[in-house]
Structure 1
């Protein structure tokens, strides 16, 4: 189950997104907020896997809210849902998983949900995840059947490889 939080200052847009996401049994909505400040205060405890976030809100810009959310919950994916396309570059600089334009199309939302499902770590029958490491060519780490981990910095990837190498000695 993918734990999701929805944040949009317009209640009708929030309800529409909720309605569209209820079509996906893999998504569990654990919080809906019209106030980004209230959402940020509670996201630290909820630790959702994904936050669907509007960009243009009166209390706090969605880009700034996303940055604060990632500080509290670094493993949370951000999906921006907005009527404005001019913020896309800023959104992807924050490593947003996706950028959806309003009005939402069901086909486009399905692609986003499919990406979320694909990203969710595979769990084996005994409940443990199987980690895959590729060292030939380019060093990559991924959970079985998932996309490789995206390192926020090259030094982090190098440190992980170094620690992995020295752990085996």
Structure 2
């Protein structure tokens, strides 16, 4: 709410503005938060200006006084909450940093699990090649009723060669 006070008649703006602030404090007074800023949710920004100041410095000048603030500001700063905006930016930066740390921790854990899994991967007893995921799954015990793998210590290629040699021998 923008109020313009003009020095016309017997009312003095220097006495009227403080009295108006006192009567309307519950409408504009923000709640101080631990971050050093105020929360103005459900509050009305009441701003006072005089035509002489407005004429001298123009509408872009620091001529607007928001109730509760002891100094004049530009209109955008008077209706805004720069401390809260700075606080929100700091909070977002901290959140982003925590997210990056968390993602890095997840990547590190995934790499560690992958390295541990690769260390457990079986090796062919004949050629020394590591088993593929499919071959590893095929030689893993699946239960009592599952058919047993004929050559669980050989990779797929070596197993085929052994089977071919066994068929030729027969």
Q: Above 0.5 in TM-score? A: no
Which structure shows the higher helix fraction?
2
Q: Which has the higher contact order (CA 8 A, sep 6+)?
A: 1
> If you compute each CA radius of gyration, which structure gives the higher value, 1 or 2?
2
Q: TM-score, normalised by structure 2?
A: 0.27
